[in-house]
Amino acid sequence: MRLTDERGSAVAEFAMVAGLLVVLVLSVMQLSLALHVRATVADAAAEGARHASLLGSDAAAGVERTRELITTAIGPGYAERVSASSAVVAGLETIEIRVAAPLPMLGLVGPVALEVAGHAPVESLG
């Protein structure tokens, strides 16, 4: 066997490249999961704000709707910190639903680092 003999090098090369490819694929999947969670929570907050802004509804109904949507789509661990507030923006009364949820770093586990808000103008008859 000579030093320039390349027999068996394809196996070693494949093992090194396969490891890098696995890390790359798992990283892309984790990023996709984090973006999916963020988009889902933001959409639930916006839908909860729209629900709370309807005539005859209140902030508690919006918070409950937001929790229901997040629990159905992702899980109850993401719907624990939901709050509502109202403000006047450009002369219109608006409702804001704010959600603080875990940002998935390893699977669905992560620190509470994701905070999104949904706004909607409150309906009135006059």
Do residues 45 and 69 touch, judged by C-beta distance below 8 A?
A: no
pLDDT digits (tens, 9 = 90+) for 55-75: 999 999 999 999 999 999 999
Q: Which pLDDT does position 23 carry in this prediction?
A: 94
Residue 18 covered by a domain: yes
Residue 45 belongs to a domain? yes
- 88 is a domain residue: yes
Q: Are 94 and 121 in contact (CB under 8 A)?
A: yes
pTM assigned to the model: 0.83
Quote the pLDDT of residue 106.
Answer: 84
Assigned domain for 62 exists: yes
Question: Looking at the 3D structure of the chain, how many domains does it have?
Answer: 1
Name the residue among 58, 95, 66 with its Cα closest to residue 82.
66
Longest Cα–Cα distance in the chain = 93
96 inside domain: yes
Q: Give the C-alpha separation, 34 to 106, whole Å.
A: 10
Residue 100 lies in a domain: yes
What pLDDT, on the 0 to 100 scale, is given for residue 9? 80
- The three-class DSSP label of residue 124 is coil
Question: Is the residue at 126 inside a domain?
Answer: no
Residue 19 lies in a domain: yes
User: What is the domain range of residue 84?
Assistant: 2-121
**What pLDDT is recorded for position 10?**
83
Task: Provide the pLDDT for residue 3.
Answer: 65
What's the CA gap between 123 and 126, in Å, rounded? 9
Low-confidence ranges of the chain (pLDDT < 50): none
